Chain A
Amino acid sequence: MRVSYTFDEQLLSLQETANEEDFEFSLTLVAKDGRSKMEKIREHFDANNILTDIHFYIHPNNRFQIIVRKDFYNEFIIELFRQQLIQEIKWI
Chain B
Amino acid sequence: MSTQALIAIGVFLISYAFIVTEKIHRTIIAMTGGIMMVLLGIVGQEKALHHIDFNTLGLLTGMMIIVAITTETGLFKYIAILAAKKVKGDPLKILLALGTITALGSAFLDNVTTVLLMVPVTFSITRQLRVNPIPFLITEIIASNVGGTSTLIGDPPNIMLGSAVKELTFMAFINNLTAISFFVLFVNIGILAFIYRKQLRTSDDLKANLMDLDEKEEITDKRLLIKSLVSLSLTILGFFFHQLLHIESATVALAGAFLLLLLTGEKYLDKAFLKVEWTTIFFFIGLFVLVSGLIETGVISLIADYSVHLTGGNVTSTSLLILWVSAIASAFIDNIPFVATMIPMIKDMGELGINNLEPLWWSLSLGACLGGNGTLIGASANVIVAGLAAKEGYPITFGKFLLIAFPLMILSIIICTVYIYLRYLI
Contact flags (1/0) for B375-398 with A, using CB distance below 8 Å?
A: 000000000000010011100000
Which chain B residues (81-97) contact chain A, with CB distance < 8 Å? none
The residue from B119, B120, B123, B213 contacting A57, defined by CB atoms under 8 A apart: B213
The residue from A51, A57, A59, A65 contacting B388, defined by CB atoms under 8 A apart: A51
Tell me if B212 is interfacial: C-beta within 8 Å of chain A: yes
**Cβ contact within 8 Å between B123 and A52:** yes
A65 contacts across to B, CB distance below 8 A: 128, 209
- Sample of 15 A–B contacts (CB below 8 Å): A50-B391, A51-B119, A51-B123, A51-B391, A51-B392, A52-B393, A55-B124, A57-B213, A58-B213, A58-B214, A58-B218, A59-B214, A65-B128, A65-B209, A67-B127
Q: Is the interface of B mostly helix, strand, loop or mixed?
A: helix
Q: How many residues of A contact B (CB 8 A)?
A: 11
Compute how far the CA of A51 lies from the CA of B213 in the bound complex, rounded to whole angstroms.
Answer: 19
Count how many pairs of residues, one from A and one from B, have CB atoms less than 8 Å apart in the complex: 34
> Which 9 residue pairs of A and B lie closest in terms of their CB atoms, listed nearest first?
A58-B217, A52-B392, A55-B127, A55-B124, A51-B123, A51-B120, A60-B214, A59-B212, A58-B214
* Interface range on chain B (Cβ under 8 Å from partner): 10 to 19
Compute how far the CA of A50 lies from the CA of B212 in the bound complex, rounded to whole angstroms.
Answer: 25
Compute how far the CA of A56 lies from the CA of B220 in the bound complex, rounded to whole angstroms.
Answer: 14
Q: A52-B123, A67-B127, A67-B128 are known contacts. Are A59 and B392 too (CB-CB below 8 A)?
A: no
Compute how far the CA of A59 lies from the CA of B214 in the bound complex, rounded to whole angstroms.
Answer: 5
B214 contacts across to A, CB distance below 8 A: 58-60
A56 contacts across to B, CB distance below 8 A: 124
Compute how far the CA of A50 lies from the CA of B217 in the bound complex, rounded to whole angstroms.
Answer: 22
Name, among A55, A57, A58, the residue most crowded by chain B CB atoms within 10 Å (CB to CB).
A57
Q: How far is the CB of A64 from chain B (nearest CB, A)?
A: 10
A58 contacts across to B, CB distance below 8 A: 213-214, 217-218
